Amino acid sequence: MELPFSDPIWQRPANRHRLHTPLETSETVDVAIVGGGLQGLSTAYHAACRGLAVRVIEARRIGQGASGLNGGQVIPGLKHDPESLVRMLGEEQGERLISFAAGTADAVFGLIEDRALDVPNRRNGWIQACHTHTALASAADRHRQWQARGADAALLNAAEISRMTGSTAYVGGWLNRRAGVVDPLSLTLELARIASEAGALIAEEETVSGIRREGGGWRLSTASGKAIRAKKVVVATNAYSEALVPGLRESLVALHSFQIATAELPASLLETILPGGQAASDSRRILNYYRIGPGGRFVLGGRGRMSVPKSEADWRHLERSMVRLYPALEGIRIERRWFGRVAVTPDYMPRLHAPEDGLIMLAGCQGRGVAMMTAIGGPLAEFLQTGEARALPFLLSPIRPIPFHRFRRVGVGAHVGWYRLLDRLER
């Protein structure tokens, strides 16, 4: 089931064979996981390592959700700065979440190293590049807050950011050296491999169409007419959530993030555009994020239309952004265009729900899920085994559908227009 424009530039590990074990209707497992992205697979891996019997059920092929389509920027932290988290959540819970968020990139790079995963990666940091002095003042404050909590970070002046990004579009920024880049498709497929080697069973191209209580556990049925039983269920469907859990889809706004990858850049440009290999994103409300990808291609992403794209013209705004940043890329061939879904919440905080005993879900990464969803697997697995809510870095909350969710396209369209205007006006 390959949608148009859903074939990213990313790579598949060598010697990769399909990890598909068909569902058996007689199956009973400790944990059933709906969704085989980073969240589902990391949870499967950690739960299987704890000796639990695990089944992952993925509607498409592994890697065809956001986890295999994203920009591969491994950025620790949340959209909110540490002091804002403490204000929102109080000292104890705020600091617990901050310390989890700060360590999420360590979880990704640590797993790659410890398990010798075949995942192209580079840990040279993430640059948040500021286009205005107002944005730079916020970045300086963010840098101060993270540095006070031990992050290896640097504030960048105009000359430094120009040297590091190769663009003269910025007045400054900050660098978080804990961050880096990975090939996200390789990471997802390699997580599937180690989850499977640890004993988790993975079924692809099976859509879970119903979850209901049965005895002390759960019965999951699929669109193909199969059913399995599980003591506990993780719904790791995030931005791809549909009607499986009442209210979940309506509690999120699923936006489209679009990406382009150029043809291989000439050596002279690779020496000037992000020569240090960092991940970068700008400080705009409607932001662009970019990096050098496999084979020396420049990869840039940003917001795209809410409906499914129809033609290459739907990526033109990103091509224009690329040339604004790097005039030398004018006329370069765009080799690939693709898109995926990002789940956003009204307060830009991820949501953890356990609407019933033994049913849990985390959703709403605001486009920052590579590090977070890989890192959450350990705590979720511990919670599944022990039932101990203290294992979880997020507080459990009820599912709260967003009022007027049906009109989200109109609302988002108006917001985007307004934010673009502010981005243009601000100095």
Ligand X SMILES: Cc1cc2nc3c(=O)[nH]c(=O)nc-3n(C[C@H](O)[C@H](O)[C@H](O)COP(=O)(O)OP(=O)(O)OC[C@H]3O[C@@H](n4cnc5c(N)ncnc54)[C@H](O)[C@@H]3O)c2cc1C
Structure tokens that stand for 267 in this block: 């050596």
57 binds ligand X (CB under 6 A): yes
Of 86-94, 122-130, 368-376, 393-401, the window that binds ligand X (rule: CB under 6 A) is: 368-376
Where residue 87 falls (left for φ over 0; alpha for ψ -120 to 50; beta otherwise) is: alpha
Residues 317 and 360 sit within 8 Å (Cβ to Cβ): no
Of 77-85, 119-127, 238-246, 416-424, the window that binds ligand X (rule: CB under 6 A) is: 238-246
67 binds ligand X (CB under 6 A): yes
221 binds ligand X (CB under 6 A): no
For ligand X, the binding residues in 256-285 under the rule CB under 6 A are: 257, 259
d(CA 316, CA 290): 16
Least spacing, CB of residue 236 vs ligand X, in Å: 5
Interhelix angle 104-114/369-386, nearest 10 degrees: 80
59 binds ligand X (CB under 6 A): yes
Of 80-88, 140-148, 172-180, 366-374, the window that binds ligand X (rule: CB under 6 A) is: 366-374
65 binds ligand X (CB under 6 A): yes
368 binds ligand X (CB under 6 A): yes
Query: In sequence order, what DSSP letters do the residues of 280-297 get, joined into one string?
Result: EEE--SS-EEEEEEGGGE
Distances (CA, A) of 93 to 89, 96, 129, 381, 393: 6, 5, 30, 20, 8
Q: Which member of 369, 377, 378, 379 binds ligand X (CB under 6 A)?
A: 369
36 binds ligand X (CB under 6 A): yes
Q: Which member of 27, 37, 46, 119 binds ligand X (CB under 6 A)?
A: 37
Nearest Cα to Cα of residue 298 among 269, 320, 324: 269
d(CA 235, CA 242): 11
219 binds ligand X (CB under 6 A): no
Distances (CA, A) of 262 to 207, 334, 336: 34, 4, 7
CB count, 10 Å around CB of 209?
16
Q: Which member of 77, 82, 94, 340 binds ligand X (CB under 6 A)?
A: 340
38 binds ligand X (CB under 6 A): yes
139 binds ligand X (CB under 6 A): no
Total of residues contacting ligand X (CB under 6 A): 45
Question: What is the dihedral sign for C-alpha 95, 283, 308, 4?
Answer: negative
Q: Which member of 71, 166, 309, 379 binds ligand X (CB under 6 A)?
A: 71
Of 166-174, 211-219, 230-238, 400-408, the window that binds ligand X (rule: CB under 6 A) is: 230-238
342 binds ligand X (CB under 6 A): yes
Q: Among residues 369 and 378, whose Cβ is nearest to ligand X?
A: 369
* Cα dihedral value 318, 324, 330, 331, nearest 10: 20
Q: Would you give the distance in Å from CA 243 to the centre of its chain? A: 21
Q: Map tokens 């969240």 to a residue.
A: 39
d(CA 238, CA 215): 27
Q: Would you give the distance in Å from CA 92 to the centre of its chain? A: 26
Of 109-117, 232-240, 264-272, 385-393, the window that binds ligand X (rule: CB under 6 A) is: 232-240
379 binds ligand X (CB under 6 A): no
Q: Which 3-state string (H, E, C) describes 191-211?
A: HHHHHHHCCCEEECCCCEEEE
Q: Which member of 19, 29, 75, 85 binds ligand X (CB under 6 A)?
A: 75
Least spacing, CB of residue 286 vs ligand X, in Å: 14
Q: Among residues 171 and 257, whose Cβ is nearest to ligand X?
A: 257
40 binds ligand X (CB under 6 A): yes
Q: Among residues 171 and 288, whose Cβ is nearest to ligand X?
A: 288
Nearest Cα to Cα of residue 72 among 277, 276, 321: 277
Residues that bind ligand X (CB under 6 A): 34-40, 57-60, 64-67, 69-73, 75, 207-208, 236-240, 242, 244, 257, 259, 289, 301, 339-342, 365, 367-371, 373
